[in-house]
Amino acid sequence: MTNVVAGHGFEECLIADLTGVAEQVIVGLNWTLVLGPNGAGMAQTPARGTAGCRSLPRAGTYSGQTLAALAALWNSDNVFERAVAVAAVNAHWNRFDIEGDGANGLDLIENHGVRTIVIGRFPGLADRLPGIAVVEREPRPGEYPESALPMLLAEAKYVAITASAIVNGSMAGILALCKSAFVLVLGPSTPLSPRLFDHGVDALSGFIARDVDKLARAVSEGAAVAALRPYGRYATIVRTQLA
């Protein structure tokens, strides 16, 4: 892991130089999708009841805007607009032709016991990797609250972070707490941007669309992750591969 590059913010590095126009924007029950000219971007739709959940103020106008204009909604007070912004960023970076390891990011997590920190609940992962520390905003028995992150991350060897932390605004703060651990960001909301390697990330595992029509239909009908998989592929890029 490397230190964060001074003067180049996490958000700014992703938004800079975006090109293209959003051909379609869908805010589904579970996922938000932006289709661009060269890729399709996903972001987890915030749950109803989350602070800032209000109707989108300009519904019907988001499709047809540039990806850069949508990405500028990153700091909107409306959390649905923030999800649209992240999906627009991913529509730029997660190109249809991007190359990368096709492994599921969950299969890359190394088990170092409590020194492996997984931020976000992934079904069945704690059973597959016994002894790891799982951190959640609303922890279940055996999980840690977010307040434990400074203590856990100070001693961590491997940190896996759900990309939903980008949508909820907590990613930059989490990365700042990672000292010497290997850091993996994973999930459909992950931007496959090598620029994040300058911000403390070592590997990125995201989703590349294959069949955008069927993917868009699934998102509009409330698809969860399992229902998205037939319409895309996993892709993982690692810092050392680009060195």
CB-facing half-sphere around the CA of 20: CA atoms within 13 A: 22
User: Whose CA is closest to 202, among 82, 98, 105?
Assistant: 105
Class of domain 105-207+236-242 (CATH, top level): alpha beta
The answer to whether the 10-98+211-231 and 105-207+236-242 domains have the same CATH topology is no
The residues spanned by each domain of the chain are 10-98+211-231, 105-207+236-242
Amino acid (one-letter) located at 66: T
Helix, strand, coil share of the chain (percent; to 5): 35, 20, 45
In sequence order, which residues have a C-beta less than 8 Å from that of residue 120 and are 6 or more positions away?
135, 136, 160, 161, 162, 164, 165, 187
- What integer pLDDT is reported at residue 49 of this predicted model? 63
Q: How is residue 139 annotated by DSSP?
A: P
CB 14 within 8 A of CB 198: no
Beta strands 232-238; 133-135: pairing state: unpaired
CATH of domain 10-98+211-231: 3.30.390.100
- Give me the tens of pLDDT residue by residue for the chain, a chain 243 residues long: 333 333 347 889 999 999 999 999 999 999 999 999 999 999 999 887 665 567 888 999 999 999 999 999 999 999 999 999 999 999 999 999 998 888 889 999 999 999 999 999 998 998 999 999 999 999 999 999 999 999 999 999 999 999 999 999 899 999 999 989 999 999 999 999 999 999 999 999 999 999 999 999 999 999 999 999 999 999 999 987 554
* Strand 158-162, strand 116-119: pairing: parallel
The confidence score (pLDDT) of residue 134 equals 97
